[in-house]
A = this chain, B = another copy of it.
């Protein structure tokens, strides 16, 4: 079966594409702002948030952040210098270092998440049914 091509010139499609671009832009701006309120860069905020779930090897962090492992060294260095993250040995493999949030790091991450929830609050304007529709539409988009 041949894959069907979307009509790129369809004005409605173009408008929706434009709107998605706007949502993406606003999402990013507010993410950066929220991070900056805690004196974090975007990359630092992402890494810190990842670690609130569980300690992770440096290598694993690089995969999650989609960057080279050498970069993670610096980001963790800076977070560690502020006492938000610490490096622990991995009992199972002495080559591995596990990055883990400290208590202070967890506090900052909590504040960050609250700010982000607020940033994402445009959803407030939608009813329960509308949220259901939006979920379905987003799922279909992502499945494409």
Contacts and interface: CB of A to CB of B under 8 A. Distances in A.
This chain's copy number in the assembly: 2
A142 interface: yes
A121 B125 CA distance: 27
A13 B19 CA distance: 20
Contact of A144 (B27, B124, B131, B144): B124
A7 B78 CA distance: 35
B142 A6 contact: no
B135 A121 contact: no
A29 interface: yes
Given A23-B20, A117-B8, A122 B135 contact: no
Interface in A89-136: 117, 120-126, 128, 130-135
Contacts of A120: 17, 20
A81 interface: no
B140 A125 contact: yes
Contact of A6 (B6, B20, B123, B132): B123
A137 B142 contact: no
Interface of A: 4-6, 8, 12-13, 15-17, 19-24, 26-29, 66, 117, 120-126, 128, 130-135, 137-144
16 contacts: A12-B135, A17-B120, A19-B142, A21-B27, A22-B142, A23-B24, A23-B141, A23-B142, A24-B27, A26-B142, A28-B28, A122-B142, A123-B144, A125-B144, A126-B141, A134-B134
